[in-house]
Amino acid sequence: MNTAKTTLLLIGLTLLLIFIGQLVAGMAGAIFAFFLALIMNMVSYWWSDKIVLRMYRAKEITPRDNPKLHQIVENLALAAGIPKPKVWLIPLSTPNAFATGRNPAHASVAVTQGLLNTLSMEEIEGVLSHEIAHIKDRDILISTIAATLAGAIMTIAYWARWAFFLGGSDEEGGGNVIGLLAISILAPLAALLIQLAISRTREYEADRQGAVLSGKPLYLASALEKIEMWTRRRPFPGGSPSTAHLFIVNPFRGDWVVRLFSTHPPTQERTRRLKAMAHLL
């Protein structure tokens, strides 16, 4: 169900991209928009993991550095049927974690120092099971594609606004000009909403699969509650909000508008679902 929903949403993003490209510059615009998205996807696919790990000053840790953490990762990867990902440590005191990498064979999981200091080993296993589920389902690639398609739509919408201003005095083409203005405003909003729907769908699915992998939905629920509490008190310093979708809980503070357009579903709803799962496992 979640896979079908994600597929339909990605198709919707692609069609929206081609539609707005065609509206701005005809078939040539649609073709250009398609290849723009393709190039952006390829760049993100190959280098996004290196960029984000460097952004947060992550350091790779070996089994000798933290044997318990590596054992958890190895056991979960074995249960998921994927190669063991690399393990990285982020020198931040707020608990959080993310997975990155272009495919299961080139994946990494990163945890903050705060996660290791704050959570129990069972809760850490719950968090890592969520991240391993992301890797298994190639969610990093899916979210990257969604983000780059949405970015391409926003770029073309920006061009559409310029087309409006440059053609605003053309009375004969008034209808087309007004259409350009409307699409330049509505298309980015539609793209953002679709991207958020994809991200939230994948978060719920990673919670579900992670709970199955570890067999400990209550510990994952407890970990989410603790991470949420710490994030409200001590959000990430620096960093880029554009990376928020990678983390298990959005690590950046925001007002109600930011929360409304968050890449993550409400933590309260996530924990409710996990607690309901505990009776079924």
* pLDDT tens track for 145-166: 676 667 667 667 776 666 666 6
Question: What are the distances in angstroms from CA 226 to CA 50, 147, 201, 232?
Answer: 28, 28, 22, 10
| Euclidean distance between CA atoms 152 and 155, whole angstroms | 5
Q: Determine contact, residues 157/188, Cβ cutoff 8 Å.
A: yes
User: Is residue 279 classed exposed, middle or buried when 0-12, 13-18 and 19+ CB atoms within 10 A define those classes?
Assistant: exposed
Q: What is the pTM of this model?
A: 0.78
pLDDT surpasses 70 at 5 = no
What's the pLDDT tens digit per position in 215-254? Answer: 999 999 999 999 999 998 888 887 777 788 789 998 886 6
Q: Which residues, 6+ apart, have CB-to-CB distance to 122 below 8 Å?
A: 216, 219
CB-count burial class (<10 Å; 0-12, 13-18, 19+) for 122: middle
Phi and psi dihedrals of 184, rounded to 5?
A: -70, -25
Tell the residue number behind the tokens 């409307």, with chain if given: 182
Nearest to 274 by CA among 227, 211, 205: 211
Task: Provide the 10 A C-beta neighbour count for residue 220.
Answer: 31
- Give the residue, 57 or 279, on which the prediction is more confident: 57
CA dist list (Å): 174 to 35, 55, 170: 29, 46, 6
Mean pLDDT of the chain: 82
Look at residue 219 in the predicted model and tell me its pLDDT. Answer: 97
Q: Give the tens place of pLDDT for each residue, 54-100.
A: 999 999 999 999 999 999 999 999 999 999 999 999 999 999 999 99
pLDDT of res. 175: 46
Short-list 165, 154, 127, CA closest to 247: 127
pLDDT digits (tens, 9 = 90+) for 169-223: 444 444 456 666 676 677 777 777 777 777 788 899 999 999 999 999 999 999 9
Spell out a b/e string for 254-276, using b for 16 or more CB atoms within 10 Å of the CB, else e: eeeeeeeebbbbebeebbeebee
Predicted pLDDT at 178? 66
The pLDDT assigned to 1 comes to 52
Q: Which residues are catalytic?
A: 131
